[in-house]
Every structure is written in C-alpha cells, then in structure tokens.
A and B are shown apart, each in its own frame.
Chain A
Amino acid sequence: MTSPESGALPAELLRVSRTAGVSLAVATQGSDGLVLHAEGDDLTRAPAAAALGAALFVRAGAVAGAQGHGNPRLLRLQGGEGQLLAASAGDVIMVVVAGSEANAGRIRLELLRAAGALA
C-alpha cells in the first residue's frame, strides 16, 4: 500500500508506529476511510481503524467547525483499554492505535511532526 500523495507517507507512518506503545498507524485518503498505508503489529485491524478513525475525525471536525474552532489538527480518544489518536495532513488522515500505558504526549508529538512533514 502506497500513498499517491507522497512517497514520504510510509516512512512517516513507520516512524510513528515505532513509538512505544503504538500497535498500529494507518493513513486514509480524505474521508473515504480506505487504507492508503499501514504500519504496525497487527495489520488485519487496519481497515477497521482507518474506516472508524476517519469517520470519527470527520465528525469531530464538523463539531469543531460548528463551534467556530476551525478544522481539527488532532483528536485523542481514551478508551478503557487503549487509546486512539488521529491527525490530518492535507487530504490524508492518520490514525494511531495505542495501548493505555503508552505515553500520549509522545505519540501526539510524533503524529503532529509527521502531519507537518506530509502537509
């Protein structure tokens, strides 16, 4: 799976996926929710993470827009047994799945750095 947008995407996702506690990093094209590229331990979960993560990000964007906060840069969802982070880089939405023990601040920095590199 490669990105038509940027040859840098696989390298950026690989770097994000190597952050401690991250089990999956996946990118989708816009809001279509289809996997552009994925890196991580369990790639069978990539389609679900891409589809659900992108849908969540798009809807959160609609809420942020309605409140006058503009387009969201980053979304973090803390679950009981893990966490999900999503960020946009141009038309690409990156979704990261991590364990609850993972350092959210570190992942956030890596994700925003990758988004900046790809935008």
Chain B
Amino acid sequence: MTRGSSEAWLSQPLRRFVEDTSVQLAVVMRPTGQVVGQHGFTRAVDVMSACSLGAAIHASSDELGRLVNGNPFADLYHAGQTRQIFLGRCESPRGRFLLLAIFDDTSSIGLVQLFFDEFRRALAAAVEKTPPATAVFGEDFDLALARSLDALFAEHPRPAGEWNDPR
C-alpha cells in the first residue's frame, strides 16, 4: 500500500517506482519547485520544503556542471549516515521534471538507478498521453511577475529577456 498524492497521469508511474525500489519518500517536481506528485510525506510543508531544496540543488548542479564541465551534471546521489538521496531528471515532451527520492538501507542506489530509468520512460509516455492542462495563469504571467518584481526591487533591475528563458 502506498500513501501519496499526485496528478492523475503521474500516480501509476510514481506508485510503481516506489513499490519497486522501497524508497521511503519520493516527490516529483518541476525545476521551478512546483510539486507534481509525492509519496510518503505526511505534511504539505515538508513536501514544499523538499521541492524548494530539490529545485535549488538541481539549479546549482546544473550551473556548476556548465561551469566546470561544459554541460549540466546528470543525476545526483548523496549518501548520509542513515538516509540517502537521489535527484534525477526526466525529460518529456512538456519539459523537464525532477524526481527526488529519499531512502535508507532497505533500498539501494543500484535499485533506485535501475528503476529510475523505467520511471523516466513511463513518465514521458504518461505525459504524452495526457492532454495539456489549462494554464492557471496567462502566458504573459512570467513577464508580469518580472515587471512587478522590478518595480518592487528597483535598485537591481533585471536585464531585458531574462524571464524569457524557455527552460
């Protein structure tokens, strides 16, 4: 039995990944930190914290990879004393998703990596089958937000086009 909540198209691939790997916590997010689905978390604030931190790690390692390697670094694995984290990226026709998995010694990085490849394929297939959701905000939301932020933080105006990055 799993406990979690996800957008409908994601629930099956995420449940399968969790069952195959026995990870304790898993959350799928956009690179912006927007939550798409989760398993194992009991408090919304923990999900949001995990997504914020996961997105920040991804952004940092992406840029660090570009800096030292010429390309963004790939998936990330970090082992602690009792728990380990894996942060992997999934490309899809609707852009990039991130999976953050947290596990202890009942699973292993070998298992997580093995089934993450399957999850990545299942997610891309599920995204393709799902009709795009209606945008909550208008297409120019980013631009409007940027203008508002510039107005609020006028001492450091943003360069033109900075918010138009398609990533």
Interface residue B42 (Cβ < 8 Å from any Cβ of A)? no
Q: Mark B128-165, 1 if CB is under 8 A from A, else 0.
A: 00000000000000000000000000000000000000
Instruction: Give A88 Cβ to nearest chain B Cβ, in Å.
Output: 15
Check A32 for interface membership: any CB of B closer than 8 A.
yes
Asked whether A72 is an interface residue with its Cβ less than 8 Å from the other chain, the reply is: no
When distances are taken between beta carbons in the complex, the residues of chain A under 8 Å from B114 are 33, 47-48, 51-52
B: interface residue count bin = under 10
Q: Chain A residue with minimal CB distance to B115?
A: A51
B113 and A52 contacting across the interface, CB-CB below 8 Å = no
- Chain A interface SS verdict (over half): helix
Residues on A lying within 8 angstroms of B by beta carbon are: 28, 31-35, 47-48, 50-52, 54-55, 58
A sample of 5 cross-chain residue pairs with beta-carbon separation below 8 angstroms, ordered by A number, consists of A33-B108, A33-B114, A51-B111, A51-B113, A54-B110
Q: Which of B69-117 contact A (CB under 8 A)?
A: 105, 107-111, 113-114
Closest to B114 in A: A51
Is the beta-carbon distance between B113 and A55 smaller than 8 angstroms? no
Contacts A31-B105, A33-B111 supplied; 9 other A-B pairs, CB < 8 Å: A33-B110, A33-B114, A47-B114, A48-B114, A50-B110, A54-B110, A55-B110, A55-B111, A58-B108
In the bound complex, what is the Cα–Cα distance between A91 and B108 (angstroms)?
15
Interface centre among B108, B110, B111, B114, by most A CB within 10 Å? Answer: B110
> Which residue of A is nearest B110, CB measured?
A33
Q: How far is the CB of A20 from chain B (nearest CB, A)?
A: 28
